[in-house]
């Protein structure tokens, strides 16, 4: 397989899983929104944001570090070294995540009462979510370790198929047969424990590592030195991602957070594309850099950036032109969030198409630079949230996210150009931009005609039109040779699945 075929095959595996996982999580949010209302949804969102931020501390950036170091080793020749490396990562993650869990359990009352100013139920939900942190942190570190072998199916199966399915099923069962409160708490803990058990079984099968090796593995100082700056980067980026939720909770109330959450979840669907392509791009760029292969580094950077743009456009256009109909999926109560969806879609679209720059910097060893980038963007985000949320509420939080994501994305692109002499832009991007412009015009022209129909009918029609018009226009302008290689890569994937 050539470069485009390899990226196509592996990213499609990831994207298929991401589609399934995001549909399940989206349906989870949609059902919660309809069944329990904005206040309970806000409680879930606040507790989940605290969990995710705490989880980053527990992982310590080990997931990226172990993926990079494993990808640079030969699994046939350096099996023992890989086992020690993974064992060290798991051991350090386990130790820190348990400490984080204990700290969150002890401080949950203070966080809820004095920072989030939430209802008593939030404390209970937060404590249950805290127990899930070690299981989730270790699962993700191990999943990224398997990704270092350039095999994505294990990580995708656990994180995008198994966990989201359990999350949704347990929530439905809990809601119908137990209580609303249990429906908020149980799914996260149950899915975390089951995912942890299955992921460890996969690790043992793939690497042959045993429990004793994990317990006796020494701390790998080189891995820690590489990873801890990434921990702070991820912490700051996670804080920036969830800061709008947390600060809305601090400045407003749980109901406002509940209204904001569906818009953020919907716009976040575009992140599935970014994650899909970067899952294979990251270990590949690390390998090319280690080999000083500037040609493949440049080619893969431009290729992935163009495909991110190409695949993001038809989805983003639906959210931008028909935000009212999208929010009506959650119920009429969430209609005021339509403008929030527009702003957040613009934010995630920019972040997606420029997102390859972050992996390019991290996989080439510029982790400290990423840290300073994240610090700057985080400060901007905090300042904007403090200024905008008290005056403009939800839309102010959305604008703070858009501006800060634009700044950090642009900064990374410029740094990749300056340090590595790589640019994401190519003239081949003009075709998807023109196709997107024509598609936008068509969607806007039919807007008065389709808006009077039922929400599901309208969204089904405009989704079909968006993808159909966009695809036809691209076809008429002729696909690039790499795009044909992409389609060939899908054929290779199909044949490999049959085997």
Q: How many helices (H) and strands (E) does the chain have?
A: 21, 0
pLDDT mean over 253-259: 81
pLDDT mean over 483-489: 60
Q: Which two tokens stand for residue 182?
A: 């249990």
Q: Which two tokens stand for residue 453?
A: 């129909």
Residue 66, pLDDT above cutoff 70 = yes
The predicted pLDDT at position 461 comes to 94
Share of the chain above pLDDT 90, in %: 29
pTM of the full predicted structure?
0.71
Cα–Cα distance between 41 and 176 in angstroms, integer? Answer: 17
* DSSP annotation of 453: S
Contacts of 449 (CB under 8 A, 6+ apart): none
Residue 489, pLDDT above cutoff 60 = no
Kindly report which listed range (170-184, 382-396, 423-437, 475-489) carries the lowest average pLDDT score. Answer: 475-489
The predicted pLDDT at position 366 comes to 80
In angstroms and rounded to an integer, the radius of gyration of the C-alpha atoms of the chain is 22
Q: Which two tokens stand for residue 146?
A: 């398997």
* DSSP annotation of 160: I
pLDDT in tens, 309-361: 988 899 999 999 999 999 998 888 889 899 999 999 999 999 888 888 888 88
In this structure, the number of other CB atoms found within 10 A of the CB of residue 44 comes to: 27
Are 111 and 129 within 8 A, CB to CB? no
Burial 319-351 (b: 16+ CB within 10 A, else e): bbbbbebbbbbbeebbebbbebbbbbbbbbbbb
The predicted pLDDT at position 484 comes to 65
pLDDT mean over 148-157: 73
The predicted pLDDT at position 98 comes to 94
The predicted pLDDT at position 411 comes to 92
Q: Which two tokens stand for residue 50?
A: 């605290």
pLDDT in tens, 314-324: 999 999 999 99
Q: Which residue has the tokens 């080619």?
A: 299
Task: State the average pLDDT for the chain.
Answer: 83
Residue 245, pLDDT above cutoff 60 = yes
Q: Residue ranges of the domains in the chain? A: 3-498
* DSSP annotation of 334: G
Highest mean pLDDT among 249-258, 260-269, 375-384, 434-443: 434-443
CA angle 151, 154, 160 (to 5 degrees): 120
- By C-alpha distance, which of 218, 303, 227 is closest to 68? 227
Helix or strand or coil: residue 78? coil
In this structure, the number of other CB atoms found within 10 A of the CB of residue 184 comes to: 26
């Amino acid at each position: 397989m050539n470069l485009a075929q390899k990226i196509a095959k592996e990213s499609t595996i990831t994207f298929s899983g991401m589609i399934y996982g995001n549909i399940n999580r989206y349906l989870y949010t949609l059902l919660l929104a309809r069944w329990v209302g904005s206040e309970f949804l806000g409680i879930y969102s606040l507790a989940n944001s605290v969990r995710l931020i705490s989880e980053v501390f527990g992982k310590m950036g080990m997931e990226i570090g172990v993926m990079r170091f494993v990808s640079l080793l030969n699994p046939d020749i350096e099996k023992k070294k890989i086992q020690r490396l993974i064992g060290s990562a798991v051991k350090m993650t386990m130790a820190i995540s348990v400490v984080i869990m204990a700290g969150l359990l002890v401080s949950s009352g203070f966080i809820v009462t004095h920072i989030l100013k939430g209802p008593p139920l939030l404390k209970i939900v937060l404590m249950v979510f805290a127990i899930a942190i070690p299981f989730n942190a270790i699962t993700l570190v191990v999943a990224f370790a398997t990704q270092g072998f350039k095999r994505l199916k294990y990580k995708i199966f656990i994180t995008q198929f198994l966990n989201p399915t359990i999350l949704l099923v347990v929530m439905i069962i809990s809601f119908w047969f137990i209580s609303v409160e249990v429906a908020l708490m149980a799914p996260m803990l149950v899915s975390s424990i089951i995912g942890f058990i299955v992921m460890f079984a996969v690790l043992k099968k793939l690497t042959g590592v045993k429990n004793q090796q994990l317990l006796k593995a020494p701390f790998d100082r080189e891995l820690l030195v590489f990873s801890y700056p990434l921990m702070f980067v991820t912490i700051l980026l996670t804080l920036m991602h969830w800061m709008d939720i947390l600060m809305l909770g601090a400045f407003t109330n749980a109901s406002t957070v509940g209204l904001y959450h569906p818009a953020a979840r919907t716009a976040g669907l575009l992140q599935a594309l970014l994650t899909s392509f970067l899952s294979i791009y990251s270990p590949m760029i690390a390998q090319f850099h280690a080999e000083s292969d500037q040609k493949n580094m440049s080619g893969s950077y431009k290729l992935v950036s163009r495909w991110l743009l190409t695949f993001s456009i038809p989805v983003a256009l639906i959210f931008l032109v028909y935000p009212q109909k999208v929010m009506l999926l959650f119920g009429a109560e969430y209609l005021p969030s339509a403008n929030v969806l527009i702003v957040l879609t613009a934010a995630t679209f920019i972040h997606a198409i420029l997102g390859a720059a972050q992996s390019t910097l991290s996989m080439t060893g510029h982790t400290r630079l990423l840290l300073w980038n994240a610090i700057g963007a985080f400060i901007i985000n905090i300042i904007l949230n403090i200024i905008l949320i008290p005056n403009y509420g939800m839309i102010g939080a959305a604008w703070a996210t858009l501006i800060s994501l634009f700044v950090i994305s642009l900064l990374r692109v410029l740094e990749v150009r300056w340090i590595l002499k790589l640019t994401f832009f190519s003239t081949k991007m003009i075709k998807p931009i023109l196709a997107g412009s024509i598609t936008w015009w068509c969607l806007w022209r039919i807007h008065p005609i389709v808006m009077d129909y039922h929400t599901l009918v309208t969204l089904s029609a405009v989704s079909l039109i968006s993808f159909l018009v966009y695809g036809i226009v691209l076809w008429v302008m002729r696909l690039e040779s790499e795009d044909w290689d992409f389609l060939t890569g899908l054929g290779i994937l199909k044949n490999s699945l049959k085997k």
